[in-house]
Structure 1
Amino acid sequence: MSSSEAPAQETSTDQRYHRLEVTAVIEETHDSKSIVFNIPEDKKAKFAYLPGQFLTLKVPYDGKQLTRCYSLASSPHRDSEHKVTIKRVVDGRISNWINDYVKAGDQIEVMTPAGLFCLNDKTPAGDIVLFGGGSGITPVFSILKSALETTDRKIKLIYANRDDRSVIFKDELKAIAAEHIDRLEVVHILDSVHGFLTQPMVCQLMDGYRHGEYFICGPGPFMDTVESALIGLGEPEDRIHTERFVSPPDPDQAEAVVQQAKAAAESSNTVQFEAVLDGETYEIPYEKGDTLLEALYKAELEPPASCEEGMCGACMCTVERGETQLAQNDVLSDKELEKGWTLACQARPLSNDVKVKFPD
């Protein structure tokens, strides 16, 4: 298929996805656009979301069904629409297709909102400091708008971009800052003017905003810089929230990883495992080859889950004991893996003493 052709619109047989109509396409910058979806009345409950969550889009492309996760830039407390914003990526098949071809009236397969990088009722008190790098502004912008509407917390946004024309939501940010001049501070860091954000710059920008809660989204080096600076200042890790997005592998590559994990589990003699869900402990019968999530479904339990492809993190749980094999993983960091986190939709038990615990 040539680069000038849009993918054919096919009907998905995956019932986790819903065909949504695009009601508007907004040109945000020279290299980014926002897509606004119409949510039918009978699907509004399914598409309710927390600020900071994302949508997963499935696009038929060159004979494959490719999936991509895009954060909602809209706020459930301020905006009436569901809006995702996509920035072009060099050689990015789907990001370029969306920017080049998607128009109002098109239909796209979309999964219900998911993600753990969000402002919620369990969020502790204190100031909020948001760090957005490039298109990483999208989930933190959603959090910013909701926090202003639902809390009285002070908020500081540190937003890094290559140059002024790359600043997504520039006018909207300016208007919101003027509306909340007593609570919101916005700091723009431009590579062309200030250079790349450094740890000393982060420490300086934190003056007056210590001991708060921190949300970070952007390119890997940007996020690493901010997180390292905050930890160096002594900020507790449980108050530092990060969102990392990578393009998942194509379906054939993902299937190869799954088959490797299944093969590794073939030698397992596991017949059951223990799961702690909503504070209750269950003994779960296990059939060889199943993932933890599949076994829980067969036991007629309802663990948290969404994409079931190792992308969203909705089914994260900790391995309290025993050995498991993780297949596809596009969400857990090395640090989280070291702490025992796994994905129920991709993990298989390798021993009979496995115990996993889902967050309360």
Structure 2
Amino acid sequence: MGMQALEQDSLASTSAGSYRLQVSAVIDETADARSLVLEVPAPLRERFRYKPGQFLSFRVPCAGKLLTRCYSMASSPVCDAQPKVTIKRVAGGRVSNWMNQHVQVGDWLEVLPPAGHFCLGEQHAGDSARPLVLFGGGSGITPVMSILKSSLHTSKRRIKLIYANRDEASVIFRDELRQLSQDHPHRLEIIHLLDSLQGFLSEAQVRQLVQGQRGGDYFICGPGPFMDTVERSLLALGEAAQCIHVERFVSPPDPDEVAAQEAIARAASIGSACQLLLVELDSQQHEIPCRPGDTLLQSCRAAGLDVPSSCEEGFCGACMCTVLEGETRLARNDVLSARELQDGWTLACQSRPLGARVRLKFPG
């Protein structure tokens, strides 16, 4: 495939904002999943500080192209010394298969800083009265595991994990989960569901499994049909939509596709005479000019504003902002849900202003 580990100065950021990190350990979790532990040098530790549930994005050369893939961290920032990502083979997956077959201890990988919004809100993080209900399907256990371990160490909340797999041999983190259950018998309940024995998870099962856990925070990650079933069931029970968190991953398109989409979006926006961009950042108001054809992120940077960003390809969500006034055109989006789009959220790296005046607000 033409992929090779990249050994360079880890402290030097590439033009795309990524860094070289060295693999310090490789853990074979199952026959088709492995974890990579990464060594983060002291000068980069603040840059790679992460929240439970976030992911890392890897850039891997393949057949003359640079492919980007996101993998969640199964480690906890409060009890694990180094970040650990877990990668399950995907049939035909160019990067996931290479990661499982070829990456070894001592290899260097090109990694973007942590990103993602699949995190427990600070307002409820330590609320012991609110149950925490976690649904993991297959390799979707990875970010759920990070949230689980962190919550056990930083709160007194009762936690229920429902973990679905194809069969017993597919259960990732089997021994670690068993140990956590033994260490926290009065706070942690783990229920394993196996497709080979019980079939696929049904709405009736979801309703039964959450009995006694109502009014809590729900985190769901796994295959699409699994997540849809859980989310639909919780909403039908009357659980608040803002307390239901779903992590959906899609592989970014190849660079040629991205370039084509960018060209179309840029051409469409050049004809729009946006003259003024109003930006609220860190509780400060800024009035900046719009540069024809530029994204919101590019215009902000040209004006000297240090707005949050990471991948700049529309899949990490680090540059999320709210459109308060005016219209924008979103070129591509692999992170925002339909509900978030309806609420006015957009991605600064992929969105261009339309009309004479647009007002934005970055969270902070």
Q: TM-score range by the shorter chain?
A: over 0.9
Give the structure 2 partner of residue 343 of structure 1. Answer: 347
Partners of 1:8 and 1:210 lie apart in 2 by 47
Give the structure 2 partner of residue 286 of structure 1. Answer: 290
| Matched-pair contact (CA < 8 Å) for 1:6–1:101 | no
| Matched-pair contact (CA < 8 Å) for 1:50–1:120 | no
Partners of 1:213 and 1:273 lie apart in 2 by 36
The alpha-carbon deviation at position 10 of structure 1 amounts to: 7.5
Tell me which amino acid in the other structure corresponds to 1:91. G
The alpha-carbon deviation at position 248 of structure 1 amounts to: 0.3
Give the structure 2 partner of residue 110 of structure 1. Answer: 111
The alpha-carbon deviation at position 8 of structure 1 amounts to: 6.3
Q: Secondary structure at the match of 2:277?
A: strand
Give the structure 1 partner of residue 300 of structure 2. Answer: 296
| Matched-pair contact (CA < 8 Å) for 2:57–2:68 | yes
Q: Secondary structure at the match of 1:264?
A: helix
Residue 330 in structure 1 maps to residue 307 in structure 2: no
Partners of 1:258 and 1:122 lie apart in 2 by 38
Q: Percentage identity across aligned positions?
A: 57
The alpha-carbon deviation at position 6 of structure 1 amounts to: 4.1
Residue 58 in structure 1 maps to residue 62 in structure 2: no
Residue 182 in structure 1 maps to residue 186 in structure 2: yes
Q: Secondary structure at the match of 2:110?
A: strand
Tell me which amino acid in the other structure corresponds to 1:243. E
Partners of 2:213 and 2:282 lie apart in 1 by 35
Match of 1:127 among 121, 125, 131: 131
| Matched-pair contact (CA < 8 Å) for 1:50–1:76 | yes
| Matched-pair contact (CA < 8 Å) for 1:56–1:69 | yes
The Cα RMSD (Å) is 1.5
| Matched-pair contact (CA < 8 Å) for 2:163–2:192 | yes
Tell me which amino acid in the other structure corresponds to 2:107. D
Tell me which amino acid in the other structure corresponds to 1:122. Q
Give the structure 2 partner of residue 87 of structure 1. Answer: 88
1:1-360 correspondence to structure 2 within 5 Å:
1=1, 6-7=3-4, 9=6, 13-14=14-15, 16-123=17-124, 125=127, 126-360=130-364
TM-score (normalizing by structure 2): 0.94
- 1:234-270: per-residue Cα shift (whole Å, max 9, x none)? 1111111111111000111111111111011011011
Tell me which amino acid in the other structure corresponds to 2:131. D
Q: Secondary structure at the match of 1:137?
A: helix
The alpha-carbon deviation at position 46 of structure 1 amounts to: 1.2
Partners of 2:19 and 2:6 lie apart in 1 by 13
- 1:142-196: per-residue Cα shift (whole Å, max 9, x none)? 0000000001111111111111110000110000011000100011111111111
Q: Secondary structure at the match of 1:323?
A: strand
Gap runs ≥5 in structure 2: none
The alpha-carbon deviation at position 120 of structure 1 amounts to: 4.5
Structure 1 window deviating more from structure 2 (294-303 vs 97-106): it is: 294-303
From the superposition, tell whether residues 54 and 295 of structure 1 become closer, same or farther in structure 2 (CA, over 3 Å): same
| Matched-pair contact (CA < 8 Å) for 2:7–2:109 | no
Q: Secondary structure at the match of 1:235?
A: coil
| Matched-pair contact (CA < 8 Å) for 1:296–1:302 | yes
- 1:272-291: per-residue Cα shift (whole Å, max 9, x none)? 12222233332221111111
Q: Secondary structure at the match of 1:228?
A: helix
Structure 1 window deviating more from structure 2 (297-306 vs 33-42): it is: 297-306
Structure 1 window deviating more from structure 2 (60-69 vs 331-340): it is: 331-340
Q: Secondary structure at the match of 1:350?
A: strand
The alpha-carbon deviation at position 337 of structure 1 amounts to: 1.9
* Number of positions where the alignment pairs a residue of Structure 1 with one of Structure 2: 357
| Matched-pair contact (CA < 8 Å) for 2:275–2:357 | no
Partners of 1:112 and 1:146 lie apart in 2 by 20
The alpha-carbon deviation at position 339 of structure 1 amounts to: 2.5
| Matched-pair contact (CA < 8 Å) for 1:7–1:62 | no
Gap runs ≥5 in structure 1: none
